[in-house]
Amino acid sequence: MTDSSRGRGPGLLERLGAGAVICAEGYVFELERRGYLQAGPFVPEVVLDHPEQVTSLHEQFVHAGSDVVEALTYYAHREKLRAVGKDGLLEELNRQALELARRVADETGTLLAGNVCNTNLYAPDDPETHAPTRAMFEEQVGWAAEAGVDFVIGETFRFEAEAQIALEVIRQAGLSAVITLAVGRVPETREGRSIPDACHRLAEEGADVVGLNCIRGPGTMLPLLEGITAAVDVPVAALPVPYRTHPDQPTFQSLREPDGALLPQGQPFPTALDPFTCNRYEVADFTVQAHAAGARYLGLCCGAAPHHLRSMAEALGRKPPASRYSEDMSRHAYFGTAPGVPSRNRDYRDQL
């Protein structure tokens, strides 16, 4: 596939050849927290209703260290928009999202990525869903190609076969493809196939990057990476959700609090995950370990905020513009050690 970045500097494959690439995701969760997107459907109407908020988040993620500006076309496919009665906005929403992302990518010299995702329609055993699934990918990839994207991300696929359809469409458009699977409680595809084998087949079929995104947090995605890196000869992606999942509750949908009486449906997902959020140091630790396991396309998905991305960049030895404001506790009024911090305040810190 082509590795041209449309005048925005080195392309995806060239950048991966030189080192790790960081891609910020998680737009729908962050914009929901800010009050511009509805949890549940998670349809990115914000692209049309408040484009300035989308642009601002693109800029903030780049400021924090993202090498990629990903157009907010996740869940902007025909099936999702039809479900909320907005299918008439399909093309306008996609083209607007791509234009917003393109402007930021052009201004910052970062890569511009298109995006397609699981359709929630596809079923391997129902042939009547196959053609509409392909048609949805063709629509979105076609608009992405016209917008001059550097590559297309196909993500959160639980069915390997659905990921294969997306990959075929992306390749037919002459674009590089990053294909990532979403792994539930059982570490296999919904067809019951092993994740390393699925990634191997996707790489053999032409994916430029394969791996995992979303659903699992750092603690439960990390153990899956070495198997993937051993199975493929292309760069491996690792973009977990920044939540403290563990073997008994390996996904952010499965996380539970001891007393969930106040929670909708008794579960924290998706709007009460705050107590499980990884701090920036946990994200940095994941970055180091994932990189050591062979992952080269790194990022975070639903729940990510710019400070998480800055921590990831710094863990790779980088200093993005946001690093100017990384913490310096030596100058804190009570916990500081720098000259000028009154000793009476340091002596009082244990009383805080």
CA 112 – CA 148 distance, rounded (Å): 8
Provide the residue type at 87 as one letter.
Answer: D
344 domain residue, yes or no: no
What pLDDT was estimated at residue 262? 85
What pLDDT was estimated at residue 3? 53
Residue 114 has pLDDT above 90, yes or no: yes
Provide the residue type at 88 as one letter.
Answer: G
CA dihedral over 149, 170, 115, 225, signed as positive or negative: negative
pLDDT band at 2 (very low <50, low <70, confident <90, very high): very low
pLDDT band at 221 (very low <50, low <70, confident <90, very high): very high
Residue 303: exposure state from Cβ atoms within 10 A (0-12, 13-18, ≥19): buried
Q: Which of 8, 16, 57, 29 is nearest to 234 (CA)?
A: 16
CA 230 – CA 289 distance, rounded (Å): 16
Cβ contact 311:319 at 8 Å: no
Provide the residue type at 175 as one letter.
Answer: L
Q: Which of 237, 236, 253 is nearest to 245 (CA)?
A: 253
135 domain residue, yes or no: yes
CA 101 – CA 41 distance, rounded (Å): 22
267 domain residue, yes or no: yes
340 domain residue, yes or no: no
324 domain residue, yes or no: no
210-223 mean pLDDT: 98
Of 240 and 87, which is predicted with more confidence? Answer: 240
pLDDT band at 298 (very low <50, low <70, confident <90, very high): very high
329 domain residue, yes or no: no
pLDDT in tens, 30-65: 999 999 999 999 999 999 999 999 999 999 999 999
311 domain residue, yes or no: yes
CA dihedral over 30, 322, 109, 318, signed as positive or negative: negative
47 Cα distance to chain centroid = 17
What pLDDT was estimated at residue 169? 98
Domain that holds residue 233: 12-319
Q: Rounded to the nearest 5°, which phi and psi values hold at 259?
A: -125, 100
Residue 4 has pLDDT above 70, yes or no: no
CA 27 – CA 29 distance, rounded (Å): 6
Provide the residue type at 95 as one letter.
Answer: R
What pLDDT was estimated at residue 266? 85
CATH of the domain at 53: 3.20.20.330
What pLDDT was estimated at residue 258? 86
Give the chain's domain count. Answer: 1
123-142 mean pLDDT: 98
Residue 46: exposure state from Cβ atoms within 10 A (0-12, 13-18, ≥19): buried
Provide the residue type at 318 as one letter.
Answer: R
pLDDT band at 6 (very low <50, low <70, confident <90, very high): low
CA 21 – CA 318 distance, rounded (Å): 11
Number of Cβ atoms within 10 Å of the Cβ of 114 = 30
Of 4 and 92, which is predicted with more confidence? Answer: 92
6 domain residue, yes or no: no
